[in-house]
Structure 1
Amino acid sequence: MVVKHGELDRALDVVGRLARTHHHVWFACDGVYSMYGDFLPAGFLRDLLAVAPNVRLFIDDAHGMSWAGERGCGHFLSRFPLGDRVVLVTSLAKAFATGGGVVVVQDRRLLETARLVGGPFSFSGPLRPGDLGASIASARIHLSPELAILQAALRDRIAQANALCRTLAIPLVIANEAPIFFIALGRVEAVYLMAERLRDQGFHVNVSGFPAVPASRGGLRIAINAIHSAAQVDALFHAIAEHLPSVLAAVGVTRDEVAEQFEGVLPSFLRAARRSPARCSSSPSATPRRPTRSPSRPTPASIGSTPSCGTRSSAISPTSTRARCGRPSACSTASTRSSSTAGRSATCSSARTTRSSPRRRSPRS
């Protein structure tokens, strides 16, 4: 079952109904959502786990890795504990700047189950030597004092960009602490026209249009990293503000019409943050109401499939899987080669690797 991102207010009720009739209910979502850079309040996630003891969280924190948290543990783990009902997956192909994937759980039995029956372990190959060497170099940076310096520099650039959007009246979908900025432009013609004008001034920005986003909700997706200087960030956002009126006029839309198209893209408890940066910790008042808690009465159900994380929705998957996270133990990680070709978020480390085209690999025995 999929709950649209803008309708997450009803997720607690949906999870409550499923928890009464299924063995396990998995709530799958992003730690940091890839398009707008928003994230769910910690209070909301705690309320989900409190619905019933058979509710679990499956978090994809690919876009929160490295730039946040102690030693780059990621945005999610910097604000939410890894409990026995939480599974975290993340990518090394974004801010970590190499390649591969990571699974973090407390129950080693669950990790072993994933290793035995999980598709990525059966149908992927090991990291290439070059990727492995780059990962070691990046890991050394993460374990050194240099990472904290890079994270602090990035936080300054993020705060600067948020302030510029407010001062220059740039239509940012949501202002928060993530290094991802989505400038709302609406029609795809406006998106490409703005990108072309910025390109002519020496700025390369990512365009987001249909089918990655709905046809009327296009925009620029800007990812800032620690290497960008304050002068570069200032110049980019001033250029956007300079071209914005003429771009919208050229395609025949107004600011109000663009704003109307983006109404409802965020859940109500995040809309208050559209003009002010959010904080890691969330107050209970920032989360939707908690449904009445009912005893869990699990019955068999088919194993549910979930869409790939990174979409603008969250998947709630009831399953009858018998793997249980009951005993905390040391965190376990497992790496597998990532097939994702999504764009990078902010890069906090200097490790790099040259990539070739993906090659088809035969299944390992």
Structure 2
Amino acid sequence: MAKINHNNYLDTIDELIVDAQKRGVVHLFTDGEELTGRELNINGRDLLNFGTCGYLGLEMEESIKEGAIDFTRRYGTQFSVSRTYVTSGFNVELETLLRKMYGHPVIVSPSTSTSHIAVIPTIVRDNAAIILDQQVHMSVQTACQLVKPRGIPVEMIRHSNMEMLERKLIEWQGRYDKIWYMIDGVYSMYGDIAPLDDILRLMAKYDALHVYVDDAHGMSWYGKNGAGYVFDKIGVPKKMVLVTTLAKGFGVTGGITVFPTEEMYEKVRVFGGPLTYSHPLAPPLLGAAIASANIHLSDKIYTYQAELKERIDYCNKLFEVQDLPVISNPDTPIYFIGMGHPRVGYNMVKRLLDDGFYLNIGLFPAVPVKNTGVRFTLTRHQQLKDIKALVNCIAYHFPKALAEEGLDDEKVFKAFKINTAMLLHSSNGHATKVFAPLPVPAPVKDFGYTIQHENSINNIDKNTWDKLLACEGSFTWDALHLLEIAFSGHEKIEDNWDFHYYIIRDNANKPVLATFLTVGVYKDDLLSQAAISMQIEDKRKDEPYYLTSKTIGMGSLLTEGKHLFIDRNKTDWKEIFSLLIDQLLVLQEQTGAENIILRDFEEADEEIRDFLLGEGFVKIAMPHANLIDNLEWNTTEEFLATLSQNSRKNIRREVLKFEDKFTVQIKESITQEEAELYYEMYLNVKSRNFSINYFPYPKKLFAQFQHFPDWEYVFLYLKPENKTTKENLPVAIAASYEGENHYCPMILGMDYDYAYDFKAYKQILYQIVKRAKELGKSKIYMGFSADLEKRKLG
């Protein structure tokens, strides 16, 4: 199986966080000798604090602090004994108080994350399945990975999408005893609330559906005894487990799990992973938590809730008169103002920090890149004048940050799919602000440049196109004309590609940017590890379009080379590139595509990297293109001298040793019969190669090959004495594009009956290199995948 280097997801996240750190908006440090709750001292400046989740301000409550101090003095700083051996009596006292709050059995753990790790692997039995909401907290997602080695399927659906959930329930009902849907009650970024009524309806309809809820952000500020948003709305039904927190609104640290039955409670108490071997809550935290639980069981909690509600209502009224994209639910103390592009978010947060406000940036991977925003929270610590100052400051800086980054609010609204929309709404259905429908712009001129957008290469001058891009890959005017024919008129949606060509010209009518893109159905695991794709393909046998998305991709899934021409000598080339991206966003809106993929940029090009990050794109390492550009040799020995010692040994042992077993034919065109054979041999390769996972090319493409100019075909035959059959059929075929100075082998077909004994795959790669040298080419685009074998050739 061909192997490639895959992108590391953590590297992508690291790059974004490092970028945000450079801009001074994350990884900050507090100064000062004390905290007040209302202010944070950062870099020697006192900032109004709108960035923490202590919604009721209980972390500064005197009785809670005294509880921690009292327990520290009496019991020390830790109780270092596993709960399997001895449980602190004060731990039992705290759980008894929490049981009074919920009326259900409760287990306390050192953190909410620990709760998930203890509970999920215990309650999810072997004949079960897990469905993750796309926005469920990362700590839940991490804990769910622990059950996958037991063969338990873990799949994700789009955020709060009940239609997708029900489709999955219909599919899995009867196959699994329990299907666990993992959600948050109040989501931490957008402050939106899970559709609890819809979930209850599905729980009643499908016996197998069970729900696991993390309501950490709904805790304390809402409901009777501050038991949280979810519990107040629906309690803890028999088929639900509720996890919440002693942190955030509760004012301490730790996790709470509320069980529907004593039986489930006992199983987790006895067998719950870290509950059996890790430390319990330390005495200072127990003292503080007991004090906070007593507040929750008193009328005092309602006074505190009312004070926070006053601040929420006041903030909502302030936003009613502002034309700002407030994305969050106004019933919660979490606010999210859409910024769209990360660079606008960075700009905005920096401006607010400079004006004396600390808040957060909502950034990938917590939210999609194009849905970056400014996130802030309300607490009892803030005064009404603080809230007014912040809202006014956001309203003042929002248009300035957009203008400074070359964007406008219309693009932000589109990023969050806001057209005729209620930007600020409440659960009673009352809209406080309604925006008119946004027209889809289709600019022809901008910044003095003219944009030409065509749906067919036939509408573009052949000489102009080939002059700009023919020398960069396998996409001449003629080749694209035939590709348009090959990828149209099919029954299967994946076999039809829509082509889009863009040329941007300056005032002198000189092209300064040119590219083409295709719109088609991509597999979401296009660049996943092969083992993952193989598992997904099993699923696709019954559901062909499982985990697929309509995608706009620069170039196509067939062509290779540099698909973008841009005149980097222009001082405003970034503005020119932005014009293209604006066009692609319009195209995305028109086609309903979920993703835009831009490709073929040099890894070391930091200027392009920074530009695209600012435009809302995430850098993903693509597979190696395996370019061979050292063809300054004339003999086999000279060729070998260009290779490493290990590669020379390998080529001699596995390529040159068998070269005399083969004959090679170069054909300028192929017959219909040869095209059909080629297609079957291509499918042999495709069915074995999951390193880049895409839908197989349609058979019509191979029928078109005989019409492709500038293409030739390398046929590799075994000599008759080396074959077990008398048929004179090739054992390998490669279609190659012949450019002016470059050579691109594009599609490989193999007969695997002879692939191993005579190393036919390595042989045809070698013959391709020899052919490029024979033609006098200066470089070869060897294509993606099989990196190890291709690198041995230079």
Q: Give TM-score, length-normalised by structure 1.
A: 0.71
Alignment of 1:20-169 (within 5 A): 20-169=174-323
| 2:424 aligns with one of 244, 254, 275 | 275
Comparing 123-132 with 217-226, greater Cα deviation is found at 123-132
Q: What one-letter code is carried by the residue in structure 2 that aligns with 1:179? A: P
Verify: 1:193 aligned to 2:347, yes or no: yes
The CA distance in 1 between the partners of 2:385 and 2:279, in whole Å, is 42
The CA distance in 1 between the partners of 2:163 and 2:231, in whole Å, is 23
Which residue does the alignment assign to 1:342?
none
SS at match of 1:195: helix
Structure 2 runs not aligned, ≥5 long: 1-154, 430-794
- Aligned identity (percent) is 35
Cα deviation digits, residues 328-364 of structure 1 (max 9, x gap): xxxxxxxxxxxxxxxxxxxxxxxxxxxxxxxxxxxxx
The CA distance in 2 between the partners of 1:240 and 1:118, in whole Å, is 46
Cα deviation digits, residues 251-271 of structure 1 (max 9, x gap): 11111111211229xxxxxx9
Larger Rg: 2
Q: What one-letter code is carried by the residue in structure 2 that aligns with 1:212? A: A
The CA distance in 2 between the partners of 1:63 and 1:198, in whole Å, is 24
Distance 1:121 1:272, change over 3 A: farther
SS at match of 1:28: strand
Verify: 1:221 aligned to 2:375, yes or no: yes
The CA distance in 2 between the partners of 1:208 and 1:139, in whole Å, is 31
Higher-helix-fraction structure: 2
Give the Å deviation of 1:9. 3.1
SS at match of 2:370: coil
Give the Å deviation of 1:232. 1.0
On the 8 A contact 1:158/1:177 being kept in 2, the answer is yes
SS at match of 2:358: coil
Which residue does the alignment assign to 2:171?
17
On the 8 A contact 1:175/1:273 being kept in 2, the answer is no
Distance 1:141 1:279, change over 3 A: farther
Q: What one-letter code is carried by the residue in structure 2 that aligns with 1:240? A: I
Cα deviation digits, residues 15-43 of structure 1 (max 9, x gap): 23222321111111111011111112332
On the 8 A contact 2:212/2:241 being kept in 1, the answer is yes
Distance 1:197 1:155, change over 3 A: same
On the 8 A contact 1:175/1:274 being kept in 2, the answer is no
**Higher normalized contact order (CA 8 Å, seq sep 6+, divided by chain length):** 1
Distance 1:130 1:60, change over 3 A: same
The two structures, once aligned, show a CA RMSD in angstroms of 2.0
SS at match of 2:212: strand
The CA distance in 1 between the partners of 2:427 and 2:210, in whole Å, is 25
Which residue does the alignment assign to 2:324?
170
Comparing 166-175 with 238-247, greater Cα deviation is found at 166-175
On the 8 A contact 2:158/2:164 being kept in 1, the answer is no
On the 8 A contact 1:198/1:204 being kept in 2, the answer is yes
Q: What one-letter code is carried by the residue in structure 2 that aligns with 1:161? A: C
Which residue does the alignment assign to 1:295?
none
| 2:400 aligns with one of 246, 262, 273 | 246
Q: Which runs of 4+ in 1 moved over 4 A?
A: 271-274
Structure 1 runs not aligned, ≥5 long: 265-270, 281-365
Give the Å deviation of 1:279. 4.9
On the 8 A contact 2:328/2:334 being kept in 1, the answer is no
Q: Give TM-score, length-normalised by structure 2.
A: 0.33
Verify: 1:233 aligned to 2:382, yes or no: no
Give the Å deviation of 1:6. 5.9
Q: What one-letter code is carried by the residue in structure 2 that aligns with 1:21? A: R
The CA distance in 1 between the partners of 2:262 and 2:426, in whole Å, is 37
On the 8 A contact 2:160/2:194 being kept in 1, the answer is no
